[in-house]
Structures are given as structure tokens and as C-alpha cells.
Amino acid sequence: MKLEMTARLGRITLNRIQVLGRGGVFLWTALSLAFSPPFRAGRLIKELEFIGSKSFLIVFVTALFTGMVLGLQGHHTLVQFGAEALLGSAVALSIIRELGPVLCALMVTGRAGSAITAQIGIMKITDQFPALEMMSIDPVKYVISPKILAGILCLPLLTAFFDVVGIMGGFLVGVKLLGVNQGAYFGKMVAAVTFADIYGGVIKSLCFGLLIAWISSFMGFTAEPSTQGVSRATTGSVVLSSLSILVVDYILTSLLL
């Protein structure tokens, strides 16, 4: 019994290591092909629109209400110590350091990451990859590479948008609704936020963008060629991307502090 459990655990471990290795080779191939001619700028622009522009609405709503909740909760806590003037710095640091990159990445995972996996999985079911190869077009370079580049480029921009909207959401609640002094709100914020905070948020968003595009594309590319296989791959990509974002966030936070 113990030998069977050990053997099963060993098979599972080796299988996970094999999948991780295949994923690493997949990412390296996609990135290396992205910078080799011919360059298809139209494909990249299309993916930038899909991942970036079409995610603005969900990012805006999430950022606005996140900032408003932070403003409400922060004021409720700080007023007990007579420190409501620090509300601006509390909201800004919370959003720029952690909530902005993480929540933005999770929203993009749910909206764009799942769609990427489903799209690639359906292309696999309908034999579009062999069709591209018959036309002497590398499917990885044509389909996968633009998605990974777009993910890396879009997440920092979306995160910056999230940060601004979130801070303004805190301003609406804290200053306009609860009566915190406007000068104190922005003055304390400017004094508290440093370049290291902004730099850390940018590094996190770059890593999250790479993770989302990589995992979503790989799960779709390796999905079983069936409707059930694509469904499982789509669900798995969202779950794995979300967990990876949280784990990598902790690792980067510990390194950047």
C-alpha cells in the first residue's frame, strides 16, 4: 500500500515537472519567435485592443469601487485616532503597492485570459494550426507570440489606469462625502508615495501580464481537442493564473521590500 502511494505520488510529481518544462519551452519559443522576422504589427495591435482596450470598463468599475471602499474603511479607522488627514496616503499606498496590480491582473484573467484559452482551444479543435502550417505560417509566431507581447505591454498601462481611478474613488468618498481636507488628502499622498512604490507596482504588473498570457495560451495550446477538453482548459487556466498571480505577488513583495 505504501509503495503504491509512493509510486502514485512520484508519477504525479514527474508529470507536473514535465508540464512545467513543456511550458517553459513553449514560452521561450514564443518569445524568441516574437522578435524574428517577418513582423506582423497588425496582429499585435489586434491583441492589444482585445486584452487592453476591451478591459478598460471592468478595470474602471473595479478600481472605482475599490478606491471608494478603501476611502470609507480607511476614514472609519483613521478618524478614531484623529489621523484622517492620512487617508490619501493610505489609499494611494494600498492601491499602488498591492491592490492595483493584483486586482487588475485578476480582472484581466477573468475577462481576457479565459477568452484566450478558449480561442486557442477552438482553433485546435477546428484544425486551424495545421492549416497555418500548410501555408508556411508558424502558428506559435502567428497566434501565441502577439498574445504574450500584448499581455506584457497592456498590464502596466491598465494597472496605471487602475491606480489613478482608485485614488480618485478614495477622493470622492473621503473628501467629497466625508469631508476630509482636499489639500491634506493629496499633500500626504505626495509625501508618502515614493518611486520605489511605483517601481514595485510596475514590476508586478509586467510579471502578471506575462503570467496571464503565458498560462492562458499554453493551456489552450495543450487542451484536448474536444469541447470538454477546451472547457476544462479554460477553467484550469483561470484558476492557475489567479493562484500564480497571488503566489508571485507574495514573492515579489518579499523581494521588493
Number of C-beta neighbours around residue 38 at 10 A: 6
Name, of 12-16, 34-38, 121-125, the range with top average pLDDT.
121-125
Angle at 103 between CA 21 and CA 169, to 5 degrees: 165
pLDDT of 4 strictly over 80:
no
Q: Which three cell numbers stand for residue 49?
A: 485592443
Number of C-beta neighbours around residue 21 at 10 A: 10
Confidence of residue 35 (pLDDT cuts 50, 70, 90): confident
Which residues, 6 or more positions from 85, have their beta carbon under 8 angstroms from its beta carbon? 180, 181, 184, 185, 188
Of the two residues 161 and 8, the one the predictor is more confident about is 161
Query: What is the 3-state composition of the chain as percent helix, strand, coil, each rounded to the nearest 5?
Result: 90, 0, 10
Whether 185 contacts 87, CB under 8 Å = yes
Distance from C-alpha of 36 to C-alpha of 53, rounded to nearest angstrom: 26
Alpha-carbon Rg for the chain, nearest whole angstrom, is 22
| Nearest one of 140, 141, 143 to 119, comparing CA atoms | 143
Q: Which three cell numbers stand for residue 51?
A: 486584452
Whether 205 contacts 104, CB under 8 Å = yes
pLDDT of 236 strictly over 70:
yes
